[in-house]
Structure formats: structure tokens, C-alpha cells
Structure 1
Amino acid sequence: MPNDLPSIGFEPVRHDHLPMLHSWLKKPHVRQWWGEPDQEIRLIREGLETGEVDAFIIRVDSRPIGYIQSWWPTEYEEEAWTRDLSPDTPGIDIFIGESEMIGNGLAAPIVRAFGRRLFENGAPRIVIDPDARNGRAVRAYAKAGFTVYRELEEPDGKTLLMEKFPDPN
């Protein structure tokens, strides 16, 4: 990727974005890590309606290329790993929906930019929980400044819990 980083923006998800999101969720490179598209779009829709997640379309040079959300892990008590977090620690989830944008080195700057927004809004720490087999994502999160703080063995494989703190200034 050239030294000139593209313009990265985040547009709040609206209901009219749902068909585009659904089409991305059906793509093999997304579905592999996000699960069944109809269920995932239902969860995104519910998150919009309840406000449980802050959901955004990722735009690179004004073009919609993916999805990113922040959520509050401590609101999901069924996940044992969330009980150790403070209530003001957001989690994030992301996917790049446009196939041709995969492998272009965009994920790390996108996650860094989104993290900056969360830190500017007072987050003391940010967490993300990739599947350990998703090496591309794990490497991108590490490039964005996340480090593994715990590994979980789950029925469908190993999950890495990764964290990032604000840059000291």
C-alpha cells in the first residue's frame, strides 16, 4: 500500500444499509467468521433498534467497504470472559465486505481510527475477540496496537481476547 493513506470514515448504519450489509454477510470471506447471514443481519437490525451497538459503515475514500461496531461486553453476562471487564470498556467487531479490499492493509488503519474515536469518547480500554484461526484479522489487530491478554477454548475453537489502551501522551 502506498504511503498516502486513504480517507477513512464511519457512517452510522441506517435501515437502508441493511441490504448491502446482508449481501456482504453472504460473501464467503465474511461468512466464515461471522456466521449465518440471516441471523447476523437480524442481530444488526436489533442492535440498531435497541441501541445496544453503535454500528457504522466503513468508508474508504467515500466508498462503502465494510462494517464496524462497538458494543458493551459487560451487558452480555452469558459470556464469562466479559465479567472481568469494566462497564466502560467497549468491544469492537469489524468485517471488510468488499472482496477486492481484502489484503490491502486497510484493516489496521480502520481499527486504529475507530479506536481513536472510542478513546476520545472516554474509553479506558478497547477489546476485540477474534477467532484464533483468523490469522489475517489477528495480524491486523496487532498492527493496530492490540495485544492478546487471554485465550479461550470454546466449543468451536480458540478465541483470542485482545486489548488496546490509549496511547500515552
Structure 2
Amino acid sequence: MTTANRYSFRNATLDDLALLKGWQSTPHVREWWDADEPYDADDLADPRVARWIVSFSGQPFAYMQDYTVHGWDDHHFAHLPTGSRGIDQYIGDPERLGLGHGSAFITLRMQAIFDAGAPVIATDPHPKNARAIAVYAKLGFAPSGPPQETQWGVVLPMVAKNVRGA
């Protein structure tokens, strides 16, 4: 079994809310993720956002979401081409940090998003989150403007273009 085959994504469900709340309460997630607003049934049903539990060798360890950047009238990525998606994620299990899991599972999800036809994938880490910015740069993202204040906080907008679909 290849390493890529050891990662799996499944839709987050109501049964995962306690797991997500637990992950969001850890210091390494709280530093960059707004854990004061846990998900609820309405969030999970929002058709603009695909929410994923990421597992490695069958063990859940991370959360990822991808969303249509055109789902909100005032979204800071609304200027991107039709079909563009945004991504956010975190590794919930602190024992999985610093081992290359983030780069691996983000790459897999990016491939799936590009294969589905997205021309651009956007992400928006906090400008001081050097670890996330370095991972995104390694995966082909580049800043697409200066840091900016959004309804979700201060972000550094970054984009990766689908070069295979071009």
C-alpha cells in the first residue's frame, strides 16, 4: 500500500461534532482556528462547503474543508474564475504534527479538486502562520495580494492554479 493510499477522506457528520470540538480545543489548533464557534447541523448541511474528516491508516487525525469561493457575496476570493475552490484544514492530533501529513493530504485533496475542474484553489492563512505559508508554497500556492482584514480575520490570500487543466 502506498502512502497516498493510506489517507482517506470522508464527509464530516453530526457524529463527528465531539471529535471536531476536541480537536479545536487543542492549543495548536486554537492558535489559528476560531474554536469558539463549533460546528452544528446547519454548518454540516451548508452546500457551499464540503467538510472532511481525514484519516491515516484508518485513524482520523485531521479536518479539511473546501468551498466555493462564490458562495458569499463579499468573499475575498469572489474575483477568482468560476469553479474556483477555497481550502482550509488543520491536523487535530498533535502527535501527527511535523511528520509531513499536512503536505500529503492537502496534495491529495488538491488533486481531487483540480480533477473535478477547478481552475484555481485558494487559501488564506494568517500572515503570521509561517508553518502553513511554507507548506502552501511547497504545494504550489503563491500570495495573490497583501495581507488583508476579512470577516474571518486577517489573512494572506494565496492561490494555486490548475496547470494540468490549462
SS for the counterpart of 1:46 is helix
Once the two structures are superposed, what CA deviation does each residue of 1:80-106 show, in whole Å capped at 9, x if it has no partner?
A: x22312231010110100011111111
Count of residue pairs the alignment pairs up: 162
Of 41, 60, 65 in structure 1, the residue corresponding to residue 39 of structure 2 is 41
Once the two structures are superposed, what CA deviation does each residue of 1:38-78 show, in whole Å capped at 9, x if it has no partner?
A: x1424xx4232232211110111111001001111222223
Deviation of 1:112 (Å): 0.7
List alignment gaps of at least 5 residues for structure 1: none
Q: In structure 2, what residue type is equivalent to 1:105?
A: G
Aligned to 2:49: 53
> What's the TM-score, normalizing by structure 1?
0.86
Conservation of the 8 A alpha-carbon contact between 1:128 and 1:162? yes
Aligned to 1:105: 100
Separation of aligned partners in 2, 1:74 and 1:151: 21
Q: In structure 2, what residue type is equivalent to 1:56?
A: W
Once the two structures are superposed, what CA deviation does each residue of 1:121-158 show, in whole Å capped at 9, x if it has no partner?
A: 11111100100111111111112221112123328975
Aligned to 1:75: 71
Q: In structure 2, what residue type is equivalent to 1:115?
A: M
The alpha-carbon distance between structure 1 residues 8 and 153, as it changes in their structure 2 partners (threshold 3 A), is same
Separation of aligned partners in 2, 1:118 and 1:47: 21
* Percent identity for Structure 1 against Structure 2: 28
> What's the TM-score, normalizing by structure 2?
0.88
Aligned to 1:128: 123
Aligned to 2:30: 31
Separation of aligned partners in 2, 1:36 and 1:157: 13
SS for the counterpart of 1:21 is helix
Moved segments of 4+, more than 6 Å: none
Separation of aligned partners in 2, 1:167 and 1:30: 31
More helix by share: 1
List alignment gaps of at least 5 residues for structure 2: none
Return 146-155 or 119-128, whichever deviates more.
146-155
SS for the counterpart of 1:82 is coil
SS for the counterpart of 1:74 is coil
SS for the counterpart of 1:17 is helix
Separation of aligned partners in 2, 1:67 and 1:157: 20
